[in-house]
Amino acid sequence: MSELVVEPLGERAIRMERTFRASRERVFEAYVRPELVRRWLGTSRMDWHTCTIDARVGGGFRYLWTRGDFRMGIQGVFVVLEPPARIVHRERFDGSDGETLVTTLFHDEGGLTRVETVLEYGSTEARDRVLATPMRDGISEGYVLLDAVLAG
């Protein structure tokens, strides 16, 4: 519904924000139910292989996408789950030597939901490497798909 905002925050973080035309309960659900996550997270250039989510504090998630012989995976553990307001998790991409702390807030905007995500990296260099990737394009593409999931 709105344009994705991606910006550096402090020395080691990235802040992202976007608004969706749905209740925060519905948007929160789209972040924790595998059958919904599969419909929007990731990129159309890769195929889903694994999407498992144990949505409880201490529970984890595993996402794996493939394209031919290429594989991209991410796994994490939920630190805080406060439906429908907040998710905090730690995540690590396969092959990465660093862990990221991700805080996602779901703000009620009177029939709309503003999703604010802060990704905290271990160093400024790690944060800057991520900012130099096409991450923004992939997230924007996923959020367009999330709009469709929420409208359905």
Q: Which domains are delineated in the chain?
A: 5-44+78-151 (3.30.530.20)
How many CA atoms, within 13 angstroms, populate the side-chain half-sphere of residue 89?
24
CA dist., res. 10 & res. 56, Å (int)? 29
pTM: 0.95
Q: Mean pLDDT across the chain, nearest whole number?
A: 96
Least confident of 16-30, 50-64, 121-135: 121-135
State pLDDT tens for residues 32-86.
Answer: 999 999 999 987 788 999 999 999 999 999 999 999 999 999 999 999 999 999 9
Instruction: DSSP letter for 69, please.
Output: T
Answer yes or no: are the C-beta atoms of 47 and 66 closer than 8 Å.
yes
Tokens standing for residue 41? 């997270």
Phi, psi of 61 (to 5 degrees): -140, 155
DSSP SS3 for 79: strand
